[in-house]
Amino acid sequence: MAGKEIKPIDKAAVHRICSGQVVLDLATAVKELVENSLDAGATSIEIRLKDYGAEFIEVADNGSGISPENYQGLTLKYYTSKISDFADLQSLSSFGFRGEALSSLCALGNVSIITRTKDEAFATRLVYDHAGVITSEEKMARAVGTTVSVGKLFSTLPVRHKEFNRNIRREYGRLLTILQAYALIGKGIKLVCSNQTGRGGRTTVVQTQGNASVKDNIVTVFGTKTAGCMEWLDLAVTESCYVEGFISKPGAGCGRAAGDRQFFYVNGRPVDMPKVAKLLNELYKSFNSLQYPMVVLNFILPTASYDVNVTPDKRKVFLHSESELMVALRDALEKVYSPNKYIYAVNDF
């Protein structure tokens, strides 16, 4: 390799490569769009997929809409209406903050947006190229809100695209789990996801009705039987951490055979909490040795006591006093479960 010239890769290629790190898969793509709708104050979010999302993804909301002066800025990298300096990250209450999602989606697929604010009589349909530049603009009818469409996600990264299509059913499964996470925690938010395959009909796959409580959302998403097997938790874990949500009762047949359907949130933001999941599974095992609990748990914490800017997909959280919190959580849960302390045996089932 000696003597080979070191030179920069062209900008478009760099952008494409980096975008693939922000939008990792189908689930992150849709999650970013749903979060944008929530940040825009939407109470109704409709997700429409074609061929499990491989062909087409569309997220339509009744949020604030986008003002004409932002039509071009919104697909540019690091352009965001949500924070303007680093200090804002400390008191973050929105899902988005990096201004990367739309610019990345443009680099990875065919993006178009239809949007209208309350100040306009018509909506505008905008088509963007892979660099995020508007290529066409036309007026059309639509209620206030925004529809973002992404066709042929990952088609600009040929190798990834091939893998994506090959694993589409698995990608789709992960997407449904993530959508369930948002559906369960969204009080007063109607979330509907449907899929259409080939020339077949459209099937609704996740749905909530704008219920006022998480419990009602559990009933809508997982059914009355599952919801009936869950117990409300409401714990002041430490002075600054409060936990609320639902967890399977320790009774026989109330848990699940696999450690799935475990949903964790920090201030309503769905996140992965592998350590907390492990703790709950272990604790639950001492009351019901054969099953795992189903969990929907929201940690209410001061915004300055955790960091969600750890991984590009924002699923990982860094809690400042995690070990303390874990000890306190174990104690609190022990107390909740101990009146029922009883190890279920196989023949109880």
Q: How many CB atoms within 10 Å of residue 7?
A: 6
Report the chain's terminal Cα–Cα distance, integer Å.
Answer: 67
Instruction: Tell me how far, at minimum, the Cβ of 271 lies from ligand ADP, in Å.
Output: 16
Residues 231-270 that bind ligand ADP (CB under 6 A): none
Which of 16, 30, 34, 96: binder of ligand ADP (CB under 6 A)?
96
Instruction: Tell me how far, at minimum, the Cβ of 10 lies from ligand ADP, in Å.
Output: 23
* DSSP state letter for 334: H
By CB under 6 A, residue 58 contacts ligand ADP = no
By CB under 6 A, residue 146 contacts ligand ADP = yes
CA 90 to chain centre: 21
Q: How far is Cα 234 from Cα 184, in angstroms, rounded to an integer?
A: 17
User: Any residues with CB less than 8 A from the CB of 191 and at least 6 apart, and which?
Assistant: 34, 44, 45, 46, 47, 179, 182, 183, 206, 207, 208
**Comparison of 79 and 242: residue with beta carbon closer to ligand ADP:** 79
Q: How far is Cα 9 from Cα 163, in angstroms, rounded to an integer?
A: 24
By CB under 6 A, residue 80 contacts ligand ADP = yes
By CB under 6 A, residue 195 contacts ligand ADP = no
Instruction: Tell me how far, at minimum, the Cβ of 294 lies from ligand ADP, in Å.
Output: 30
> How many residues sit in the footprint of ligand ADP (CB under 6 A)?
21
**Comparison of 58 and 292: residue with beta carbon closer to ligand ADP:** 58
By CB under 6 A, residue 277 contacts ligand ADP = no
CB 100 within 8 A of CB 36: no
* Cα-only R_g, the chain: 22
Residues 103-132 that bind ligand ADP (CB under 6 A): 103
> Interface residues with ligand ADP (CB under 6 A)?
32, 36-37, 40, 61, 63-64, 66, 74, 80-82, 96-103, 146
